Amino acid sequence: MKQLVLIFLIALSLLACNNVTKAPSEAHNNNAFFLPPPTTYNYTAIDSVKLFYREAGNRNNPTIVLLHGYPSSSHSYRNLIPMLATHYHVIAPDNLGSGYSTHLDPTTTKYTFDMLADYTEKLINTLQIKNYVMYMQDFGAPVGYRIMMKNPKRIQALIVQNANAYLDGLTPKRQNFFRTAQTDTSQEKHDFLYGLTSKDAIINKQYVFDLDSTNINIQSPDAWTHDLAFLRSKKDRDIQVQLFKDYNTNIIRYPKWQHMLKDNQPKTLIVWGKKDLKFNYKGAEAYLRDLPNAELHLLDAGHFAAEEKTRDIAKLILEFLSKNGIE
């Protein structure tokens, strides 16, 4: 009997030791590391040119299309993409003439926002994306609104980040800048606009002009370093000059875009860097005249809020889409 009890106690002891040994492994399995989906880097041929786009997330999930601004590319969303791709399928294209997309010679091709929108829409159609959420920043607004005007019902929701559609967001001086960029055809004006694509202008008049000591250290120099890599040649800089000259066509269309928004009432999230001096926060508040149900957040950031407040914006987007049933 004593031997049986001893054998039992030994067996019980071995079992306990075995459980202790397995505990860390079991804990590891029960708390597996969470990693976002990988981002892929792709080209698609559209009408004899190549358009580049970043893609991440499950294609069976709703799609978010990220439209970038000047002077950047889809690179501006490099940090935002994996955060959104945890729940959504994300596409971020480079405009024709920007980033890794084809840079057609501006001496033989006139760059306009109509052309950018046309190619971006063809890319979306080629990827067989029927309905999607559209995120717009800066130049992304005139591209996005042109696409949306053709078929507003394809847009499941709008995310507006320092993307103007109202004169309120432009000071009289800024309005005059765009107007004269279109109407003044002098060499002097051209040279002035060309100067805005220089290294000094890209860094100091685009990226850090609206930053202060509280947020300058969270603006990555990777942003302008990447942009400048695609603005090294005269051809590349002239492409952006042509778009400066065409920008007033967007301002002229503001009333039509506003009417479209008012008529269709898309679900809209506005996340706006309130320190932006070029597209000021009044442009964000103006959306509420036509979209009274829009959700507005003024962030402690500048024009490139997605660079400064990536996590904040990702959280706001995920919460907004979830509570609006887009998931």
Bridge partner list, 312? none
Q: Is the omega angle on the peptide bond into residue 172 within 30 degrees of 0, that is, cis?
A: no
Residue type, 299: L
Q: How many CB atoms lie within 10 A of CB 299?
A: 23
Q: Provide the angle, in degrees to the nearest 10, between the axes of the packed helices 187-195 and 172-183.
A: 130
Write the secondary structure of 93-133 as one string of H (helix), E (strand) and C (coil): ECCCCCCCCCCCCCCCCCCCHHHHHHHHHHHHHHCCCCCEE
Distance CA 295, CA 320 (A): 8
- C-alpha 23/C-alpha 2 separation (Å) is 32
**Catalytic residue among 68, 75, 103, 303, which?**
303
Label residue 97 exposed, middle or buried (CB < 10 Å: 0-12, 13-18, 19+): buried
303 is catalytic: yes
Catalytic residues, by residue number, are 303
